[in-house]
């Protein structure tokens, strides 16, 4: 049986399919957490997780939760009252909720992805213990920010205390929503 002659449209469709395949492969490679620490540092913050994150992710999240527990305990009881824990990303919030609950931590909040839908902090929350890099959103919604280091912690702090809230939670929660 004779084959139908190829039209220019066949060539265009084939080119589009090849470009889509190459683009998909390139984005998968770029998003894979298999970069060396030096390469991740060179690429920047979206890929700053270490190359071993898939292997020892729970261990890293347990350490993070332990750091948050220790930092939270450094706050005087009067300062803990009215302070909520908010995380930059949902894995950080989930780690605090899972590993920190037996240590007496209050529940964690996050505006990241679906954690946003678990709800915002209560209206009477006056301060935020933030897990992550300093937040420009919180910098604009609170009068003060200070790093809260856990005893023995070295390196850049991952926990910051924001006090003097100037924006109502409904508005602030929308600003914290990401992805």
Q: Where are the alpha helices (DSSP H) in 75-168?
A: 77-80, 90-100, 136-139
Show the tokens assigned to 84: 């909520």
Residue 106 pLDDT > 70: yes
Average model confidence (pLDDT) across the chain: 83
Taking only the tens place, the pLDDT of each residue in 2-34 is 666 677 777 777 878 778 777 776 666 666 555
Taking only the tens place, the pLDDT of each residue in 26-74 is 666 666 555 555 555 554 544 344 555 545 556 788 888 999 999 999 9
DSSP one-letter string for 85-104? EEESSHHHHHHHHHHHGGGT
Instruction: State how far the alpha carbon of 107 is from the alpha carbons of 27, 30, 95, 129, in Å.
Output: 35, 34, 10, 12
């Amino acid at each position: 049986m004779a084959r139908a002659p190829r039209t220019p449209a066949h060539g265009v469709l084939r080119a589009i399919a090849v470009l889509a395949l190459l683009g998909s492969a390139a984005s998968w490679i770029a998003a894979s957490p298999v970069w060396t620490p030096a390469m991740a540092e060179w690429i920047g913050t979206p890929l700053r997780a270490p190359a071993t994150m898939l292997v020892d992710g729970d261990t890293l999240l347990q350490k993070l939760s332990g750091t948050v527990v220790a930092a939270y305990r450094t706050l005087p009881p009067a300062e803990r009252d009215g302070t909520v824990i908010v995380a930059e990303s949902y894995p950080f919030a989930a780690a605090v909720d899972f590993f920190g609950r037996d240590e007496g931590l209050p529940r964690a909040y996050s505006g990241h992805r679906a954690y946003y839908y678990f709800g915002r902090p209560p209206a009477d929350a006056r301060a935020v213990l933030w897990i992550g890099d300093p937040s420009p959103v919180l910098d604009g919604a609170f009068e003060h920010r200070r790093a809260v280091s856990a005893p023995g912690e070295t390196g850049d702090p991952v926990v910051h205390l924001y006090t003097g809230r100037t924006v109502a939670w409904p508005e602030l929660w929308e600003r914290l929503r990401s992805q």
